[in-house]
Structure 1
Amino acid sequence: MVERIPMSLTGNKQLRNELDQLERVERHEIVKAIEVAREHGDLKENAEYHAAKERQGMIEGRIMELKDKLGRAEVIDCSQVPIERAIFGTVITLMDMETDEEMTYQLLGPEEADVKKGSISVLSPLGRSMLGKEVGDEVIAKTPGGVREFEVVDIAVGTIQ
């Protein structure tokens, strides 16, 4: 059975755009760079050629990775998710029980998670500990700084990114 990857509409679009850029632009540019480097002669000591070949391998690897992820994507419209519980796509506001500080995160897939933009992966320790919680529930998460306790203050629809 194929393991599905949850992904927002926005995340799916970003990955498709990256794939398109790699296939239509960068793949062709690197082929030209390899041809130019080849014209410089001896390939054994041609750093330009070897760098271009290495870049070509990285581009082809990323194209394969993106095609795999997009092929397994379970695209979820985050504006349509129910908000009774914390699930993929919901925006969760937590209160740190120790500092009374509030923080808000959108639960997204690992490809889309970006703490700086206010989203965390459903597979992260904090993300996993939030799944299924309701407003008023306690969340206990093992973080790099130790075990922390939070309370779910709000669950909303929307997108932070």
Structure 2
Amino acid sequence: MTEEKVYPMTEEGKEKIEQELEELKTVKRKEVVERIKVARSFGDLSENSEYESAKDEQAFIEGRISTLQHMLQNVEIIDSSKTKEGVVALGRTVKFKELPDRIEEEYIIVGKAESDPFEGKISNESPIAEALMGKKVGDKVSIETPGGAMDVEITAVD
């Protein structure tokens, strides 16, 4: 028997997934069914690109719904209050300066399912987060990333 994958995420991340699921089930699913009906009205389905496109979209939507439902059934809410204060952990915000440039960056460490670097949320499985986990303010860390190595100093953990 295989063990179910657990999806660590913040309460905010869980809410976003619930909203996306609701949107897919109540709006997108109905829209694609309507597109299929319209495409069918064009007649011959064997060379009907609108029909094929709508069926592909329907398959994508149903797959996404299934994925999101699975994630929500196996979610583990990140409770950063249970981690040691001032230590980089899931759910914590970490600020660090790249050395020697002193360029400061700030990220929230979240589960892979809700990571979005453009929103400042990085996966706990990313090279940066893996290198920073368990470290504290003042620690200097060398991080190996696909873009090359970088040295950083942790300046804050909230």
Q: CA deviation at 1:77?
A: 4.4
Q: CA deviation at 1:111?
A: 2.3
- After the TM superposition, which residues 76-155 of structure 1 pair with which residues of structure 2 at under 5 Å, given as runs? 76-78=78-80, 80-82=81-83, 83-155=85-157
CA deviation digits over 1:88-131, x for unaligned, max 9? 11011112122122211111112222222222111100011111
CA deviation digits over 1:6-59, x for unaligned, max 9? 100111000000000101111111112111111111000111111110110010
Match of 2:26 among 24, 27, 30: 24
Secondary structure of the structure 2 residue equivalent to 1:133? coil
Aligned residue pairs, count: 155
Question: Aligned residue for 1:159?
Answer: none
Structure 1 stretches of at least 4 aligned residues deviating more than 2 Å after TM superposition: 80-84
TM-score (norm 2): 0.91
Which range is displaced more, 103-112 or 87-96?
103-112
Q: Which runs of 5+ in 2 are unaligned?
A: none
Match of 1:66 among 30, 54, 68: 68
Distance (Å, rounded) in 2 between the aligned partners of 1:155 and 1:81: 14
Distance (Å, rounded) in 2 between the aligned partners of 1:3 and 1:48: 37
TM-score (norm 1): 0.90
Q: Which runs of 5+ in 1 are unaligned?
A: 157-161
CA RMSD of aligned residues (A): 1.4
Secondary structure of the structure 2 residue equivalent to 1:10? helix
Q: CA deviation at 1:138?
A: 1.9
Distance (Å, rounded) in 1 between the aligned partners of 2:122 and 2:111: 8
Determine if contact 2:95/2:157 at 8 Å carries over to the other structure: yes
Name the aligned partner's letter for residue 23 of structure 2.
Q
Name the aligned partner's letter for residue 12 of structure 1.
K
